[in-house]
Amino acid sequence: MSKSSTNRDRRATVEQMRKQAQAAERRRTLTVVAVCVVVALIIVGLAGFTLYQNEQEKKDLAEQSLSDLGASAQSAGCSAVLEEEATGAGQHVSEPVGYETTPPADGPHFDITADPSTHFYDAGDRPPVEQLVHNLEHGWTIVWYDESVADDDDQMKVLEATAAKLDAEGSDPKSNVIIAPWTSDDGDPIADGKHIAFTHWSVHQPVYDPEFFKTEQIDSFGQSQYCDTFSGGALEEFTTKYPYDDAPEGFDWHQ
> Percent of the chain, pLDDT > 70?
83
Residue 160 has pLDDT above 80, yes or no: yes
Rounded to an integer, the average pLDDT of 72-100 is 96
The answer on 140 and 38 residing in a single domain is no
Calpha distance 120→129 (Å, rounded): 14
Q: Are residues 126 and 225 in the same domain?
A: yes
Residues 51 and 90 in one domain: no
Q: Which of 48, 63, 78 is the last residue of a domain?
A: 63
What residue type is 175 in one-letter code?
A: S
Residues 31 and 144 in one domain: no
143 against 9, higher pLDDT = 143
Work out how many domains the chain is built from and give that number.
Answer: 2
Residues 191 and 125 in one domain: yes
Q: Structure pTM?
A: 0.78
Give the range of the structural domain holding residue 6, as residue numbers without chain letter.
Answer: 1-63
For residue 248, give the amino acid letter.
Answer: P
Q: Which of 33, 63, 93 is the last residue of a domain?
A: 63
Q: H or E element: which one contains 178?
A: strand 177-181
Residue 183 has pLDDT above 90, yes or no: yes
Q: pLDDT per residue over 191-242, tens digit each?
A: 999 999 999 999 999 999 999 998 888 999 999 999 999 999 999 999 999 9
Considering the domain architecture, whether residues 135 and 201 belong to the same structural domain is answered as yes
* Amino acid at position 55, single letter: E
